[in-house]
């Protein structure tokens, strides 16, 4: 049950500058539960209900959200602004997304859209990616308003309909149609996080994402000769493809660490933990993601096909020249029967600078709440909407103000959940960041 918001507001008003935390916490949990119960699955990213939930919450606090319908299927973006003291400065943009990836309920031990609290966790699709953070951004902004705290500069919050299918009806649409309204000096988005085991073993590290790897999708196509399976031939497209894939994946050994990763290493004061995440942020990577071959439907077992295809999901460190990466791959494959096609033009705006007043403010707030934490800029291996804003010259940071360990790192996976205590602590961190000078 959601407590009547008027009660929440009254409690806040009475305590003026400091929120009534027990009441705020009760409301924050029930709010996230309501949010997780909304099936804003992408596709189709019908986010009308999520936008209405946010809009109602904002209006009750005296803020004026604007809704932008970006597609025919209910795709809805929301934008709201809290004026700050220095209106000459460009704003801080809080960025989150309403949409979530689909679920296969069979793999879950809880209803993915039940929004239940169990064993100290809030469970549901989007708890981590990124309804939990979206709720923290929203509630922190509302607490600024209801406690009468005027931020150092304007703060705007944009909640988008479509992040999980590349932002076409979300951030890309807003940039194309309404950029002046979201133009900002800084963006806070998803990305970094606190962890005791994912980055360094047994050491609390808080990473603030300043950059991400560039997504580079390739298709390899091998052409051979169709033949009868009873008589093997060297021109078998499958064999040609397998050999090409093997060579494509033989990346040169990683040289020097990327400067952001070298900073991480230094600031953590501990070796990187050994896992797929730290592996991915230290080098360019190639994942073989699809294989397509065979003649007929269903494919015939006794026919050697003339063509075989594979796709490679390559992720390149910022500053890597994609064309050079591809030419080197072609040179390694060195087979005229194999073509390498670029499926998506990689976006590489490079990393945002970490030496800004906002970065220092965030680091200071995190250290206040987690005195033993090493705080560091970091790279993330996956794509976020931040890249589109960095391309516009905006300094973008990924901030997940929660400590999450490997076991509960459940982004896009079954049983997605976040610890209630971290969610509530993260709300305090977010509020303190918004209250900072930057």
Q: How far is the CB of 262 from Zn ion (least distance, A)?
A: 27
Burial 359-371 (b: 16+ CB within 10 A, else e): bebbbebbeebbe
137's tokens? 């951004």
Q: How far is the CB of 191 from Zn ion (least distance, A)?
A: 9
C-beta of 130 vs 143, nearer to Zn ion? 130
C-beta of 352 vs 400, nearer to Zn ion? 400
Q: How far is the CB of 189 from Zn ion (least distance, A)?
A: 8
C-beta of 129 vs 212, nearer to Zn ion? 129
C-beta of 190 vs 348, nearer to Zn ion? 190
C-beta of 346 vs 398, nearer to Zn ion? 398
In contact, 206 and 373? CB cutoff 8 Å: yes
C-beta of 169 vs 267, nearer to Zn ion? 169
Which span sits near Zn ion by CB under 5 A: 49-57, 77-85, 189-197, 249-257? 189-197
HEC assignment per residue over 68-91: EECCCCCCEEEEEEECCCCCCCCC
Quote helix, strand, coil % in the chain, to nearest 5: 35, 20, 45
Q: 333-336: long-range contacts (C-beta < 8 A, 24 or more apart)?
A: 333/220, 333/244, 333/247, 333/248, 334/247, 335/222, 335/240, 335/243, 335/244
Q: How far is the CB of 398 from Zn ion (least distance, A)?
A: 10
Q: How far is the CB of 367 from Zn ion (least distance, A)?
A: 26
Task: Please confirm whether the linkage preceding 44 is cis (ω < 30° from 0).
Answer: yes
Which span sits near Zn ion by CB under 5 A: 185-193, 228-236, 335-343, 352-360? 185-193
Name the phi and psi angles at 361, rounded to 5: -65, -45
**Rounded CA separation 280/349 (Å):** 19
> What DSSP state is assigned to residue 41?
B
Which span sits near Zn ion by CB under 5 A: 123-131, 277-285, 395-403, 426-434? 123-131
Residue list 127-146, contact with Zn ion (CB under 5 A): 129-130
C-beta of 130 vs 237, nearer to Zn ion? 130
Residue showing the smallest CB distance to Zn ion in the complex: 129
Q: How far is the CB of 97 from Zn ion (least distance, A)?
A: 6
Strand partners, 310: 220, 291
**Rounded CA separation 32/35 (Å):** 5
Which span sits near Zn ion by CB under 5 A: 3-11, 77-85, 186-194, 202-210? 186-194
Residue list 152-181, contact with Zn ion (CB under 5 A): none
**Which residues have C-beta within 8 Å of that of residue 88, sequence separation ≥ 6?**
none
**Which residues have C-beta within 8 Å of that of residue 59, sequence separation ≥ 6?**
65
**Rounded CA separation 92/363 (Å):** 16
Which span sits near Zn ion by CB under 5 A: 34-42, 55-63, 126-134, 288-296? 126-134
C-beta of 61 vs 209, nearer to Zn ion? 209
- Strand segments, DSSP code E, in 267-334 are 285-292, 303-304, 307-316
Q: How far is the CB of 306 from Zn ion (least distance, A)?
A: 41
C-beta of 129 vs 154, nearer to Zn ion? 129
**Rounded CA separation 65/53 (Å):** 11
**Binding track over 245-274 against Zn ion, x by CB under 5 A:** ------------------------------
Q: How far is the CB of 435 from Zn ion (least distance, A)?
A: 25
Q: How far is the CB of 246 from Zn ion (least distance, A)?
A: 33
Residues that bind Zn ion (CB under 5 A): 129-130, 190
């Amino acid at each position: 049950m959601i407590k009547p918001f008027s009660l929440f507001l009254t409690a806040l008003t009475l305590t003026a500058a400091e929120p009534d935390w027990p009441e705020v916490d009760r409301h924050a949990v029930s709010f996230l539960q309501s949010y997780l119960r909304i099936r804003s699955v992408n596709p189709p990213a019908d986010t009308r209900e999520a936008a209405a939930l946010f809009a109602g919450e904002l209006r009750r606090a005296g803020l004026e959200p604007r809704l932008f319908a970006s597609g025919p299927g209910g795709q809805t973006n929301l934008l709201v602004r809290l004026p700050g003291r220095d209106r000459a400065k460009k704003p801080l943009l809080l960025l989150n997304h309403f949409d979530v990836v689909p679920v296969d309920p069979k793999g879950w031990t809880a209803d993915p859209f039940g929004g239940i609290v169990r064993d100290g966790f809030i469970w549901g699709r989007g708890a981590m990616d990124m309804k939990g953070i979206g709720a923290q951004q929203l509630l922190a902004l509302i607490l600024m308003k209801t406690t009468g705290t005027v931020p150092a500069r304007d703060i705007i919050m944009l909640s988008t309909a479509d992040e999980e299918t590349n932002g076409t009806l979300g951030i890309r649409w807003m940039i194309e149609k309404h950029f002046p309204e979201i133009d900002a000096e800084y963006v806070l988005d998803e990305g970094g996080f606190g962890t005791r085991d994912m980055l360094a073993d047994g050491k609390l590290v808080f990473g603030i994402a300043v950059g991400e790897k560039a997504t580079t999708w390739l298709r390899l196509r091998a052409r051979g000769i169709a033949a009868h399976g009873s008589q093997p031939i060297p021109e078998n497209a499958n064999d040609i493809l397998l050999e090409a894939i093997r060579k494509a994946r033989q990346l040169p050994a990683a040289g020097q660490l990327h400067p952001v990763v070298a900073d991480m290493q230094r600031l953590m004061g501990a070796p990187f933990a050994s896992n797929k995440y730290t592996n991915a942020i230290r080098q360019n990577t190639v994942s073989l993601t699809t294989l397509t071959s065979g003649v007929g439907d269903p494919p015939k077992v006794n026919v050697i096909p003339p063509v075989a295809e594979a796709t490679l999901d390559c992720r390149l460190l910022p500053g890597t020249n994609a064309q050079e990466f591809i030419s080197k791959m072609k040179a390694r494959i060195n087979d005229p029967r194999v073509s390498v096609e670029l499926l998506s033009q990689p976006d590489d705006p490079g990393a945002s600078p970490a030496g800004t007043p906002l970065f220092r403010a965030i680091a200071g707030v995190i250290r206040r709440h987690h005195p033993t934490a090493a705080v560091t800029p970091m790279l993330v291996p996956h794509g976020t909407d931040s890249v589109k804003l960095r391309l516009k010259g905006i300094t973008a940071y990924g901030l997940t103000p929660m400590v999450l360990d490997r076991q509960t790192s459940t982004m896009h996976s079954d049983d997605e959940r976040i610890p209630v205590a971290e969610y509530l602590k993260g709300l305090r961190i977010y509020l303190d960041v918004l209250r900072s000078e930057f």
